Chain A
Amino acid sequence: MHQAPAVARVIPPRRRKRVAVVGTLAVFATIALAACGSSSTSTAGSGSSGSSGGEPWAGAKTVGFIMVGEESDQGYNQAVYEASQQVKKDLGVNTLLAANVPETQQVTTVMQQMVDAGAKIIFATSFGYQQYAYAFAKSHPDVLILHQGGTYTGGKFPPNLGTYFGEAYDPVAMGGMAAGAVTKTNKLGFVYAFPIPQTVDNVDAFELGAQKIDPKAVTYTVATSEWCDPLKQKTAATALLSAGSDVLTQHQDCQSTVIEAAKAAGAYVVGYHFNASDLYPSGWLTGSVWNWAPLYESIIKTAQAGKFTGSQYNANFIGTFASGNNPLTLAPFGPAVPASVQPKILAEEAKLKAGGTIFTGPIYCNNGKVLVAAGQVATPAQINQFTCFVKGVVAAS
């Protein structure tokens, strides 16, 4: 019989059971006592409209923003976050923020809790919230739901729903032009997660833009199957760099790793989502950055005035350069972009503002098929369904 150390004099089984039960009760008791002792969370009633416009959200003072990732990700979600703070400052509304909300049923919970806390307008800012946002709009006709990035295909729009996005691919094309201007190897590298249409659009636009300046430019791609896994991003970036790319860009949720990888190799980088030029000032060419605040404010003001239903926002709204309200803008040029090229790029931007798009035919897929016929101009709806990579992109189509 071993002499058990003092500390191993374990609590016998029966006691343990009692202890566990008591312990769990203790946890709940503490919570209950705390609940009794403090004020409960506010429960705003689901309001009646009582306001000039007749729309339930007219005069709304509380707006919710739901983000799929970190609000400090130096990327997509940070753009939303900063816009929300800008909105708060400019319009004086109360903003409720929820970050890291996965694209699952949880978002319904979050929306409900936002409504309970008084929100009458909710921006669901990730594509994957689609089905939950539309279902919530249907079941809560007194709350205005805006879905970022989605396309509502269910027929007539409910009066309290709107989707919105921008022409992401056009500024990406201009970034491609800058890349084409500086590349010495004629090889560009693109890191992305999955070949969803938005990504395909971006890769294609990047390559087409590069070809405008450097017809021999080729874009190599690596798919990481993750939206933000730094190890995989770094591995992808180094593979692209060693295969000869000297300009990197990406469609990921976070971009610092790719920027750092380019920096370490002395390559150039074109950013996305967010202006991270201070990470690598000498190598940052330009980037496509979201500037959501003007669009958010326009939508909110329309809603507050009770004029949302039937407005341009009560639809699948795409902000375009042509209409002057593309929420994605071109970041300032970095020092590496030659002065001679900048006017060309800005001229292209002017063309886009006049109504053009980079996807003007003839454009061919890299497997030979025709993507946009000669003389045709692809519509945003068509562009959002692209699945093939264009000629010049090194990837399986």
Chain B
Amino acid sequence: MNGIEQALTTGIEGGTVILFPALGELIGERSGVVNLGTEGCMLAGALGAYAVGATTGSAWIGVLGGLAAGAVLGLAHAWMVVRRRADQLASGLVLWFLAVGITSVLGTSFVSRTVAPLPVVRLPGLGSIPWLGTILFDHDPLVYVSYALVPVVWWVLFRTRVGLVLRATGERPEVVAVAGRRPDLVQLAAVTLGGALGGLGGAQLSVGYVDNWFDNMTNGYGFIAVAVVLFAAWRPLWVLVGSYMFGVALAAASVLQAHNISVNQYLLDSLPYLVTLVALIVFARRGGARTPEGLARALNNTT
């Protein structure tokens, strides 16, 4: 396939790694809690998936392990923020540090183990569409899960009662409390779910895409997921756009080089981050009004 196709295809695979944690962070932030520890949830998920996969011999059980690992970290953050009323940003970063330390220590014995990765499945019918078929429908199953997840998240958020309560918790938790619901439980559930999705992104990375575990392998991509949610102004479709944009920018760096298009290597390396920055700046203006109020309060009150 030609370079553009390759960049788009790889962009989707890499972008899915960002898409899962970004969707999770969207859910959490919609409930009023920001989780800077998404990076930690991803790392935990990556190691969890790889370790469980290597031990059980099945990448799919590994994926479940990754989900669980991410959920545990998400729950810890949720508990700190909701029950102990800790500062959200600090709690997230602290859990990231913890995750880096723990996965590094626990992961050393898994660096040399192997896991058969998730199979690449070309969807029958859809996969035969020229050009689009290869780009969209020739990936590992988690990518297809992510395709489905975006509209599901949208529908639940905007068309169901559960989603309404969630969004209301992010805007005015006191109102939700007065209405007889438990905003603290909503937030706990939302952030734990967010952590689980972060773990799923890590699982996609370690057993879906690169089939490897290495120390600190998420290398900051979890923070990108948080940035994408902001760029997307908490709308699921735009989260998809942002994640893929980052993935394609990352892939472009390799594809350009492999086709001998000479671009400064360091500029290419910073391209994904610059692209995200620019997108954030361009879209933040409009999105500012959409910030869930509870989240705005949390982000602005740091002392």
CA distance A234 to B9 in the complex (A): 13
Of B184, B212, B217, the residue contacting A5 (CB under 8 A) is: B184
Of A195, A231, A243, the residue contacting B258 (CB under 8 A) is: A243
Residue pair B209, A234 in contact (C-beta under 8 Å): yes
Size bin of chain A's contact surface: 35 or more
CA distance A73 to B184 in the complex (A): 43
Known A70-B111, A231-B209, A235-B10; contact A243-B259, beta-carbon cutoff 8 A: yes
Residue pair A231, B221 in contact (C-beta under 8 Å): yes
Q: Interface readout for A225-265 with B: 1 if CB under 8 Å, 0 if not?
A: 11011111111101110110000000000101100110010
Set of chain A residues within 8 Å of B84, measured between Cβ atoms: 7
Of B83, B112, B219, the residue contacting A72 (CB under 8 A) is: B112
Stretch at the interface among A132-140, A216-224, A346-354: A216-224
Known A72-B108, A238-B6; contact A231-B257, beta-carbon cutoff 8 A: no
Asked whether B179 is an interface residue with its Cβ less than 8 Å from the other chain, the reply is no
Residue pair B251, A235 in contact (C-beta under 8 Å): yes
Residue pair B258, A260 in contact (C-beta under 8 Å): no
Asked whether A370 is an interface residue with its Cβ less than 8 Å from the other chain, the reply is no
CA distance A146 to B111 in the complex (A): 28
Residue pair B210, A231 in contact (C-beta under 8 Å): yes
A-contacting residues, B82-97, CB 8 Å: 83-85
Min CB distance, B27 to chain A, in Å? 23
Set of chain B residues within 8 Å of A7, measured between Cβ atoms: 83-84
Residue pair A395, B217 in contact (C-beta under 8 Å): no
Asked whether B117 is an interface residue with its Cβ less than 8 Å from the other chain, the reply is yes
- Which among A10, A231, A395 has the highest number of chain B CB atoms within 10 Å? A231
Asked whether A159 is an interface residue with its Cβ less than 8 Å from the other chain, the reply is no
Known A72-B108, A226-B219; contact A231-B184, beta-carbon cutoff 8 A: no
Of A220, A221, A231, the residue contacting B219 (CB under 8 A) is: A231
Residue pair A225, B112 in contact (C-beta under 8 Å): no
CA distance A229 to B211 in the complex (A): 13
Asked whether A2 is an interface residue with its Cβ less than 8 Å from the other chain, the reply is yes
Set of chain B residues within 8 Å of A230, measured between Cβ atoms: 205-206, 210, 212, 214, 217
Residue pair A260, B211 in contact (C-beta under 8 Å): yes
Residue pair B260, A220 in contact (C-beta under 8 Å): yes
Residue pair A231, B14 in contact (C-beta under 8 Å): yes
Chain A residue nearest to B261 (CB atoms) is A396
Residue pair B255, A239 in contact (C-beta under 8 Å): yes
Asked whether A279 is an interface residue with its Cβ less than 8 Å from the other chain, the reply is yes
Asked whether B262 is an interface residue with its Cβ less than 8 Å from the other chain, the reply is yes
Known A225-B265, A235-B250, A396-B262; contact A254-B257, beta-carbon cutoff 8 A: no
Q: Interface readout for A188-232 with B: 1 if CB under 8 Å, 0 if not?
A: 010000110000000000000000000000001111111011111
Residue pair A264, B111 in contact (C-beta under 8 Å): no
Residue pair A254, B214 in contact (C-beta under 8 Å): yes
Residue pair B108, A264 in contact (C-beta under 8 Å): no
Chain A residue nearest to B83 (CB atoms) is A7
Chain B residue nearest to A69 (CB atoms) is B215
Asked whether A394 is an interface residue with its Cβ less than 8 Å from the other chain, the reply is yes
Asked whether A325 is an interface residue with its Cβ less than 8 Å from the other chain, the reply is no
Residue pair B6, A231 in contact (C-beta under 8 Å): no
CA distance A242 to B174 in the complex (A): 55
Q: Interface readout for A372-397 with B: 1 if CB under 8 Å, 0 if not?
A: 00000000000000000000001110
Residue pair B6, A242 in contact (C-beta under 8 Å): yes
Set of chain A residues within 8 Å of B210, measured between Cβ atoms: 230-231, 233-234, 257, 260-261
Chain B residue nearest to A218 (CB atoms) is B260
Residue pair B253, A235 in contact (C-beta under 8 Å): yes
CA distance A228 to B216 in the complex (A): 10
Asked whether A8 is an interface residue with its Cβ less than 8 Å from the other chain, the reply is yes
B-contacting residues, A55-74, CB 8 Å: 70-74
Could you tell me how many residues of chain B have their Cβ less than 8 Å away from some Cβ of chain A? 45
Set of chain B residues within 8 Å of A395, measured between Cβ atoms: 257, 260
Min CB distance, B174 to chain A, in Å? 6
Residue pair A72, B211 in contact (C-beta under 8 Å): no
Set of chain A residues within 8 Å of B251, measured between Cβ atoms: 235, 239
Residue pair B214, A228 in contact (C-beta under 8 Å): yes
Set of chain B residues within 8 Å of A396, measured between Cβ atoms: 260, 262
A-contacting residues, B189-216, CB 8 Å: 205-206, 209-212, 214-215
CA distance A242 to B14 in the complex (A): 16
Chain B residue nearest to A72 (CB atoms) is B111
CA distance A228 to B213 in the complex (A): 11
Set of chain B residues within 8 Å of A260, measured between Cβ atoms: 117, 210-212
Residue pair B258, A239 in contact (C-beta under 8 Å): yes
Chain B residue nearest to A396 (CB atoms) is B262
Chain B residue nearest to A189 (CB atoms) is B258
Residue pair B254, A232 in contact (C-beta under 8 Å): yes
B-contacting residues, A68-126, CB 8 Å: 70-74, 100
Residue pair B250, A232 in contact (C-beta under 8 Å): yes
Chain B residue nearest to A240 (CB atoms) is B258
Known A72-B108, A220-B260, A222-B258; contact A257-B6, beta-carbon cutoff 8 A: no
Q: Interface readout for B5-30 with A: 1 if CB under 8 Å, 0 if not?
A: 01000100010010000000000000
Min CB distance, A366 to chain B, in Å? 10
Min CB distance, A259 to chain B, in Å? 9
Chain B residue nearest to A5 (CB atoms) is B184
Residue pair A221, B6 in contact (C-beta under 8 Å): no
Chain A residue nearest to B254 (CB atoms) is A239
Set of chain A residues within 8 Å of B184, measured between Cβ atoms: 5
Set of chain A residues within 8 Å of B258, measured between Cβ atoms: 189, 220, 222, 236, 239-240, 242-243
Chain A residue nearest to B218 (CB atoms) is A231
Chain B residue nearest to A238 (CB atoms) is B10
CA distance A235 to B7 in the complex (A): 9
Residue pair B111, A257 in contact (C-beta under 8 Å): no
Question: Closest 8 interchain pairs by CB?
Answer: A239-B254, A239-B258, A225-B269, A230-B210, A396-B262, A243-B258, A260-B211, A234-B210
CB pairs A–B below 8 angstroms (10 shown):
A70-B108, A70-B111, A70-B215, A74-B112, A223-B265, A231-B210, A231-B219, A239-B10, A239-B254, A394-B260
Given A230-B206, A231-B205, A254-B111, 10 further pairs, Cβ under 8 A = A194-B265, A195-B265, A220-B258, A225-B268, A231-B14, A235-B253, A240-B254, A242-B1, A243-B255, A256-B212
